[in-house]
Structure 1
Amino acid sequence: MIKPCAIDHTCLLVKSIKETKKYLERLFGFTCWFRDDAQTTLVVESEHVHFFVMEHKAESEFLEKQHISFQVDSVSLVVDELRRMGINDLETGEVSFFKTRNYKWCEWRDSNRIRFECVEITNGDC
């Protein structure tokens, strides 16, 4: 049986790859660049996270079903930073029904309506 420890990467579909690049660089400080072999694919990374973004003409209803979650040390510090950056339309909560890896969370949506989430693990590890 395969026992994954974490998701290594994913790919998000967006309406505007240039707008998303600016957003990710500004909000998270990610390094973003277009792949040499696929100029329609944006590589997004930091010391601990990497994923891909591709521009797509998908319906808004489809795009807003996407969701990406980042583990952070403190959700309250994330909320403070989001508010400092003018992102006030966010929600917070706590998940406590798992046997391991319960967490506090905050979430918001970007201009593509993709749901971004940050979680602070309250028990368990990989």
Structure 2
Amino acid sequence: MKNVPDTALGRMYREHIQLILDKNIDALLAQYTDDCLLISSFMKTPLYYRGQEQLREHMQGILGIEGLETDIAFWAETENPQTLMIVEAIQMTAGGQKAEMRFADSWVLREGKIMIHFAGMTQYPDGSVA
């Protein structure tokens, strides 16, 4: 993990990535509110995951991830309301295939947990740009 600041949200982000590497879905879900909303652009059309149960289904995809590395290109956070906006270069292996992508993730938190997560992909593994 590169370029992650030593702030409360920086530490939460580090933990988030480590939980993905550890494939610890239960602990990852504990970072989210019960009524969370994750909006994903990974499939080039918006997908909406509402609440813990739908988010759990979505997170099954992390079980195939190996060697996730992130390099933060942009980091912004606010305290009131508590928000995070990042752009990150990602390298990982999934299904035996290496992939390089760029994500634009944003979190809106409530009482220290992720309430809304915009999981945006700005460059797909095939090199195309969103």
**Same fold, TM-score > 0.5, yes or no:** no
TM-score with structure 1 setting the length: 0.31
Question: TM-score, with normalisation over the residues of structure 2?
Answer: 0.31
Higher alpha-carbon Rg: 1
Report which of the two has the higher share of strand. Answer: 2
Q: Which has the higher helix share?
A: 2
